Structure 1
Amino acid sequence: MPVTLRIALRDWDYMTPLVLGDVSSSRLDIKVDRVGTLISSLADDAAHDAAEMSFSRYSQMRHDGDDRIVGMPNFIMRGFRHRCIITAKDNPIRTLSDLGGKKIGVTGWRDSGNTWTRAALRREGVGVEDAMWYAGRLTEAHPIVDRLDGFGRPGRIEAVPGERPMVDLLLDGGLDAVFTPFMPKGFFDQESPLRQVLDDFRAAEVAYLNEVGYIPGMHLIGFKADIVREHPWIMDELSELIDESQRLWLEKREKYADTTPWMIDELRRCAADLPPTWRASGLAENEAMIADFAEELYEQKIMPRLLTPAELFPWHAKAR
C-alpha cells in the first residue's frame, strides 16, 4: 500500500512529468497541490505533509531549534540573481558596483533570493551598509504586507514610504534599482520603461558560476518531521522522483524545442556554459552552496550565528 504524500508546489515546469504521473513510485501516492504563494507555516498546515519552502525561513527554523520540519536538500528553485536587479531604462547605472550609495528596493528583506542578490553585490564591494534599502510591494497588484520582517533599521533599511509600488518609484527616480525574483507585467515588452541593471547579465552569471561553482538555491522541500520518522525513506524517494522528472522534462524540451523560436539555442548555450551536475540534489552535492548561503545569512545579520550544513540538514548529515 503506497504512502500518500500531500505536497504543495509552485508551477515549476519540470514538475509536469511528476504531476501527470509519467514519473511515479510504487511506494508513494503523490498528491500535488499547485500553489501561487508558499505556505506560511507547513508545521501548522493540516492539508499538507510536505511543501516548497524558502531556504531562508527554513534556516531560521533550524536556528531556533524548531525541528517540526525536516528539509530535503533538493533545491527545486535555483537560479542566478544578477538578472533580478532592475532599473529604469534611462538610469545611468550599468554595473553592480554603481549601486553603492544608491536607493535600492527589495520585495522582502530576508527572502532567499534577495539574500543571494545582496551576496552578488557584496562580491562587487557593495554591502548592506553601502546603500539605502527600502522594502515594499513591486506593483499596485501586489499586497501591502510587512516585508521588513523585523530587520528594519531607520536610515538604512526602511519600508517604502507610503507603500508606493516600487516600479512607480523607479520611474520617478525615488529608487535607483529594485531586486525582484519575478519581472513586473510588461517588463518584456519592446516599449518597456524598465531594464536589467546589467546589459549582459548572462556573462556576469557565467563568471559567477565559474568562481563559486554552483547556481544558488532559493527554495527546497520541507517535510513534517512526523512523516519522515514514520517513513525514513520518503525524502530520498521523492528526491529521486524529482530528479527523474527534471531529466525527462529536459529530454522533452530538447525534442520539442519550438516552444519559443530560439529555445534550441538556449539549450545549446546551457549545455556549453553549465556543468552536467548543475541541478544535482543531495547534501554533499550542494554543501558548498549551503555553506555560502549560511555565511550570507550571518554576514547580512539575518542570523545571529553561523550555521553549518550539518545543522541545516541533520537528517542527511547523520546518514553520511
Structure 2
Amino acid sequence: MRRLPLTLACGDYDRTRALLEGTVRPDGIDLTYLRLPVEETFFRMVRHREFDVAEMSLSSYAASLGRTERPFVALPVFTSRMFRHGGIFVNAEAGIDKPSDLRGKRVGNAEFQLTANVWIRGILADEHQVPVDSVSYLTGGQESPGRIEKGAIDTAFDISPIPEGRALAEMLHAGEIDAFYGPRIPSTFHRDDGRVRRLFADPVAAEREYFERTRIFPIMHVVAIRRDVYEANRWIAQSLFKAFLQAKDAAYAAFLDASALRFMSPWLIQHAEADRALLGEDFWSYGLDANVHVLETFLGHHHAQGLSPRLLAPEELFADETLESFVI
C-alpha cells in the first residue's frame, strides 16, 4: 500500500530527532521533516497553512479554536516545554527590584500572544501580585524592527506598538521600556554595562521552587495537523502520535548515556540526573492525562488575558483518536 506523503515543519530537538533521521517512521506515512526556526514555522502555518503538520505555539493554537473554521487539530505532543522565570528582563535603573515593582511599568513583548508571555503574565499575576492589567505592554521586534502579531488579537489590555524603526532590546537598554518578557534573551543582556538584568537573579532556584509547589512544567508548543488533512485521513492522528512517542522514548534512552557527552556541558549527566530526580521519570510527558493540570492552568491564563473567547477544557484541544488507549 502506498504511504501517505506528509510534510512536518518542526524544530531540531532530541525528542524528535528519530523522526528527522527516519529511524522512527509513522505507520502508513512518508514524512518529510522540514527543520525550521519556530518563529518561521508558526508564522507560515498560522498565516498561510503551508504545511500538513507543524509544531505550533500552544497560545496560537488555543486562539484558533475560537474561530468558526477551527483550521487545525492538535496532537498531545509537546515539542517544547520550558520554565519562564528566566525570561523576564528589566532595565537596572527602572526601580524594579522585586516582581511586584512591575506594576505600572512599560513592558516589551515581541508579541502579546506568545505562549511564553501568557505563562509569564499568569505566573506574575498568580504568584507575585502583578495583575495583567497593572502593566502597559509595547509590542514589536525584539532585535529588528517590524514584527507583528502572527494572528489577530482582541483584548481589553493596554497594548500598543513600539515606534517604527525601533527594536525592544535596544529600547530596554536605553530605558525607554522598563522590562521585557519573552522566550529569547535580549542581546543587550550580554553587554558588560549591567544596564539589563534578569528580574530573578537565580531563575533556576525560582523555577524549581515553582515546580515543587505547583507541579507545573509549562507547555509551550503542540503539534497541529491542518484540519482538511486530518479530516481526509483521520487515522494519521494516532499514527503520528505513536511515532512522536517512539521518538521521545529514543531520546530518553540516550539521556543518561555517560559513555561520551553528546553536548558540550561538562556536568550534563549530573544535570540530567537532577532533572529526573526533581521532575520524575517521564518528565517530558505527552498525552492528556499526565498534563491536565498544566493545560488547565494555561487555558485559564489564556482566557483571562483575552486570547480565547471562552474558557477551553484540555480535552477540547486534541484529536479524539489520541485520547483513546490502544494498549492491550
TM over 0.5: yes
Cα deviation, residue 223, structure 1: 0.8
Deviation sequence 1:175-202 (CA, Å, 0-9, x none): 2210111123474577775332101111
Which residue pairs with 1:137 in the alignment? 141
- Aligned counterparts of 1:230 and 1:25: Cα–Cα separation in 2: 17
In structure 1, the residue matched to 2:33 is 32
- Residues 1-150 of structure 1: matches in 2 within 5 Å? 1-36=2-37, 37-40=40-43, 42=45, 45=48, 47-88=50-91, 93-123=96-126, 124-140=128-144, 143-146=146-149, 149-150=152-153
Partner of 1:169: 171
Mapped to 2, the partners of 1:245 and 1:192 lie a distance apart of 42
User: Partners in 1 of 2:97 and 2:23 — Cα distance?
Assistant: 45
Deviations 1:32-70 (A, max 9, x none): 112221243648857521111121221122122323321
Q: Which residue of 1 aligns with 2:230?
A: 228
TM-score (norm 1): 0.87
Q: 5+ residue gaps in structure 2?
A: none
Runs of 4+ in 1 over 6 A off after TM superposition: 189-192
Of 9-18 and 295-304, deviating more is: 9-18
1:74 Cα deviation from its structure 2 partner:
1.0
Where structure 1 has 5 or more consecutive residues not aligned to the other structure, the ranges are: none
Distance in 2 (CA, whole Å) between partners of 1:66 and 1:284 is 27
Distance 1:94 1:38, change over 3 A: farther
Identity over the aligned pairs, expressed in percent?
25
3-state SS in 1 of match to 2:271: helix
Residue aligning to 2:297: 292
Contact 2:169-2:188 within 8 A present in 1 as well: no
SS at match of 2:237: helix
Give, in whole Å, the separation in 2 of the partners of 1:51 and 1:205: 28
TM-score with structure 2 setting the length = 0.85
Alignment correspondent of 1:218: 220
2: CA distance between counterparts of 1:116 and 1:44? 23
1:108 to partner: Cα distance: 0.4
- Aligned match of 1:249: 251
Cα deviation, 1:265-299, whole Å, max 9, x if unaligned, reads 32122122212232111122222222222211111
What code does the residue aligned with 2:133 have? E
Q: Which amino acid aligns with 1:53?
A: M
